[in-house]
Structure 1
Amino acid sequence: MYKYFSSAYKFGSIAGALSVIAFVALSFLYPDPTNLNLVFGYVISPIAIFLAIKFFKEYSNNGYLSFAEGMSLGFVTYMLEAILSLIGIWIVLQIHPNLFEQIKASKLDVLATSKDSIVSQVGLESYGMTLESVKNMVSLDIALNDGLWKIIPGLFFTIIISIILRRNPN
């Protein structure tokens, strides 16, 4: 079992740690680091998935890779990245509640300044529900959102990378 997932553990852990580090670093530069951290995740996730699958294929499986193996490795990689990112961001927000309040205020400000545009697109009722949900937001919501946005693109990238790197014995 370790043979199958050793590269996934390594690269998933590195990607999760880098995601938390990016969140902290971006929090010093921007009042709301969540959006840029999501963009960082879109860059680091496919790299981590590719490296985990490629290392398994080349160094543990004699150059062969089935689609199922690629999907399994990718799944472990992006889930580990998402879980570590979720836990790390939640801990950072628990330790620094001012950062959470700053992020919440930034999101409320965006809703207030874009009210007319949002209402014209989704209606006043949806805008009101969104405003209420942001007002009731807790730090776990921010961490969960980040984790989910590691999983969704991670699945997409895993499918593509597994197809590209697939090579079965003749």
Structure 2
Amino acid sequence: MIKSTIKYSILCGVFLIGLFFISINFGSNPLLDMRHFFFDLGVFFLFIYFSGKEFKDYRNDGYFHFWQGISIGFIVMIPAVLIFSTVFYFVFEANPELLEAYKEGAKAMLIEKKDLYLEKFSEGQYQQQLAAVDEETTARLLISTFWKKIIAGFLITPVVGIILRKKPK
């Protein structure tokens, strides 16, 4: 099962990296835009689905259990996120302008949505949030991005397992 899914994992990691940098080049900040979470869901769905489909059709005689879907999902997702995170870290360390662009975008978003933020929180909390943006580091940003992608993968993996599931009669 591992050999047949590892190529999908590598491709998924490369695709996540490409999607990230294409988004930056088109002026979108994938670290701030919630739509990118849904792109991650779609990317994970595609790669986990096709990995599971290949395993089901060519290695398991057309049968597929839910636990196999979960296993394949983790085998695809975790290395893909590790590949993405490694490249992310080295690119952000090599280009401090990317971290500064993130900080500027985060501040702009907070300022733009100040009224909404103040409805739910106090002025002091708002000021703390603005100060926290200035203290952001590549490592903290990496950890946040890593967990967002892991959560996206965890959400989509059971769905694929259910879709592909077929038990012997």
TM-score by length of 2: 0.88
**CA 1:160/1:94 → structure 2, altered by over 3 Å: closer, same or farther?**
same
Asked whether the 8 Å contact 2:41–2:156 carries over to 1, the reply is no
Asked whether the 8 Å contact 1:31–1:103 carries over to 2, the reply is no
Percent identity over the alignment is 24
**CA 1:66/1:39 → structure 2, altered by over 3 Å: closer, same or farther?**
closer
* Amino acid paired to 1:136: E
What is the correspondence of 1:65-144 to structure 2 with a 5 Å cutoff? Answer: 65-144=64-143
Asked whether the 8 Å contact 1:107–1:134 carries over to 2, the reply is yes
Q: Deviations over 1:17-67 (max 9, x none)?
A: 111122222222216232254343122111111111111111111111111
What is the correspondence of 1:1-170 to structure 2 with a 5 Å cutoff? Answer: 4-30=1-27, 32-34=29-31, 35=33, 37-170=36-169
* Distance (whole Å) between structure 1 residues aligned to residue 24 and residue 146 of structure 2: 17
**CA 1:8/1:129 → structure 2, altered by over 3 Å: closer, same or farther?**
farther
| Alignment: residue pair count | 167
* Distance (whole Å) between structure 2 residues aligned to residue 87 and residue 93 of structure 1: 10
**5+ residue gaps in structure 1?**
none
* Amino acid paired to 1:156: L
* Amino acid paired to 1:63: G
| RMSD of Structure 2 on Structure 1 (CA) | 1.8
TM-score by length of 1: 0.88
* Distance (whole Å) between structure 2 residues aligned to residue 162 and residue 99 of structure 1: 37
* Distance (whole Å) between structure 2 residues aligned to residue 97 and residue 65 of structure 1: 46
Tell me the secondary structure at the aligned position of residue 49 of structure 1.
Answer: helix
